[in-house]
Structure formats: C-alpha cells, structure tokens
Amino acid sequence: MLNVALPKGRLGDRVYAMFEKAGFECPSIKENNRKLIFENEVCGVRYFWVKPSDVAIYVERGAADIGVAGKDILLEYAPDVYELLDMKTGICRMAVAAPKGFRDDPRRTLKVATKFTNIAQNYYASQGRDIDMIHLNGSIEIAPILGLSDVIVDIVETGTTLKENNLEVIETVVPISARLIANKASWKFKTEQITALTEHLAMQLKAEE
Ligand code: PRP
C-alpha cells in the first residue's frame, strides 16, 4: 500500500487528478463528504487529506510514504525527506513587500514581519542586513500598515492581497512551487512504485508544456 498525503484544497485536487491519471485512482475520494482517508486496495493506494503545511511532517515521520508540499514549507522547516519532482503547480513567490514608496535606510535595523522566519533570516543574513524579526501567524499584510514592521516577507501569488492593502513587492526572495516528496525509508522499500509514479507525473508535466 502506498500512503499519500495530499494538501487539502485546490492544489490537492489538481495533484489527485494527476495521480489518478498515473494509475493510482481512488474513486471514493470524489464522494463529497468530510472523510479524510480514502483507500483503493485494487491499485494499492491510500490517500489522506491534510493541511498543506502539515504534509511534510507526515512524510518525514513516515505516516505517509509520499506527499506534495510547497517549496516554502520545505525551505522553512527543512524536513528530512527526498524532493523528487517539481509539480509546476501552486506557483507563487516568496517576496519582501512594503508600503508603497518605502525606502530602506541601511543605517537602521529593519523590522521584518513574517510567518517564514527561517527563510527571512537566511535571506537577510546573505545580504548582511541587520533585522528585527517579528513572527506572526497570519494577516501579515497588516503589520507594516500599523507600524509593527517596516516590511513583510510573505507569499505572493496574484498580488491582489498586497494591492488591496497598499503594499508592493520590493524584492523577490525565491520562486515557489509544489514538490513531490518522499519519506527516506519508503523510498528505499517502495522504490519501484514511487519511481513509476514519479516518471508518469513527469511525463504528464512534459506533455502539458
Ligand atoms: C497567502 C499569503 C497572502 C496571499 C497572497 O495567504 O499569505 O496573504 O496568500 O495571495 P495573492 O497574491 O494571490 O493575493 P493564504 O491565502 O495562503 O493564507 P494564510 O495567510 O493562512 O497562509
């Protein structure tokens, strides 16, 4: 049985459709109920829906053999997993944003609000910039508006959230997309199944190019 952690939401729906095409179908998953675990014994697959930011934890600890997680989570938490494939979906970027017209004064410590403190820390360390890190759990965009921070480091997809809050991107930190990841022991013991799936997914992505 191959255990797959899917990120709940639109990204997960798209990922499931790709897995289905690759021969890992599980029709019961389309029944619209509140169940979180679905199994198809015939093709030997079990899916579970988890919070997108939790996928890497399930995979790292072996509760799932494989899963799909955002590169943002992989960079932030550095889970001990194999990254097998860029799924070319869930595409966005990690960016520094600030109120329109903001000018950075390098003589002052920069106040940075973010959910992604490791990514932000590494980014500013690589620039040798002194910062005061403010960890928030959500609604990051409010921080510079209320003067809690000078800038934010956050995910930008369409840019709508920034625009509606009078903020703008000042630097891109890193591009982000969803990645297929595998538990290290599972990779060893289920190599054949995981490789076949990865290759099929890669072919699908190539055909879409
Ligand atoms: C992310 C991010 C921004 C928004 C950006 O939040 O934190 O708020 O998406 O998207 P946009 O550029 O298309 O407007 P998300 O919706 O993932 O919720 P979260 O804050 O709970 O992570």
Cβ atoms within 10 A of the Cβ of 83, count? 13
Question: What atom in ligand 1 is closest to the CA of residue 161?
Answer: 14
Contact 85/201 with Cβ under 8 angstroms?
Answer: yes
pLDDT tens track for 31-45? 877 889 999 999 999
Mean pLDDT of 83-92: 97
Q: What is the largest CA-CA distance in the chain?
A: 64
Mean pLDDT of 51-68: 98
Question: pLDDT at position 35, please?
Answer: 87
* 3-class secondary structure, 79: coil
pTM, rounded to two decimals: 0.94
Model confidence at 30, pLDDT cuts 50, 70, 90, reads confident
Is the shortest distance between the CB of 126 and ligand 1 below 6 Å? no
Contact 49/69 with Cβ under 8 angstroms?
Answer: no
Cα(152)–Cα(114) distance, rounded to whole angstroms? 6
Is the shortest distance between the CB of 137 and ligand 1 below 6 Å? no
CA of 38 relative to ligand 1 center, distance in Å: 28
Is the shortest distance between the CB of 165 and ligand 1 below 6 Å? no
Amino acid in position 66: I
Is the shortest distance between the CB of 154 and ligand 1 below 6 Å? yes
pLDDT tens track for 108-167? 999 999 999 999 999 999 999 999 999 999 999 999 999 999 999 999 999 999 999 999
Is the shortest distance between the CB of 161 and ligand 1 below 6 Å? yes
